[in-house]
Structure 1
Amino acid sequence: MPFVNIKTPEGALTKAQKEEIVHRTTDMLADYFTEAARPHTMVLIEEVKDGGYGRADEVFVVPDAYRAEETA
């Protein structure tokens, strides 16, 4: 069973963007492993809270300008 775990800053993606990532990732894996893998493919998108990760000794907080805006 192919398994993909994507970690992203909380609020950085809309629901529609996350759905698109799931579909496109599943399509990509089905291309590699054949269509037989599609029903067994798991794509997990985990949102990490601000301050819950960092790089080069700097704790990361997503600026408001980079947060996704949900559309109704």
Structure 2
Amino acid sequence: MPFANFKFPEGVVDAARKEEIIHRTTAMFVEYFGEAARPYSMVLVEEVIDGGWGRADETLTLAKMGLPAKSA
């Protein structure tokens, strides 16, 4: 079963973009593995709370990435 897991900061990706990510990723799996892979393809789009992830020993936040903070 092809599987992809995308993680984004919370509030950065809207529903339409999530749907696009799912469709395009599934299309890539089908292109690579063939049409038989479509019903078994799994794409998970997750939102991570601001400051809940890091890279290179640094906690990442929307502010550090130059993005507007999520409105409450």
Shorter-normalised TM range: 0.7 to 0.9
State how many pairs are aligned.
Answer: 66
Q: 1:19, 1:45 → 2: CA distance?
A: 9
What is the identity percentage for the equivalent residue pairs of Structure 1 and Structure 2? 61
Q: Which runs of 4+ in 1 moved over 4 A?
A: none
Larger relative contact order, structure 1 or 2 (CA cutoff 8 Å, min sep 6): 1
Task: Judge which range, 56-65 or 1-10, deviates more.
Answer: 56-65
- Point out the structure with the larger helix share: 1
- List alignment gaps of at least 5 residues for structure 1: 68-72
Q: Report the TM-score, using the length of structure 1 for normalisation.
A: 0.83
Q: Deviations over 1:2-58 (max 9, x none)?
A: 011111111111100000000000000000000000011000011110110122332
Query: Hey, what does 1:35 align to over in structure 2?
Result: 35
State the superposition RMSD in angstroms.
1.5
TM-score between the two structures when normalised by the length of structure 2: 0.83
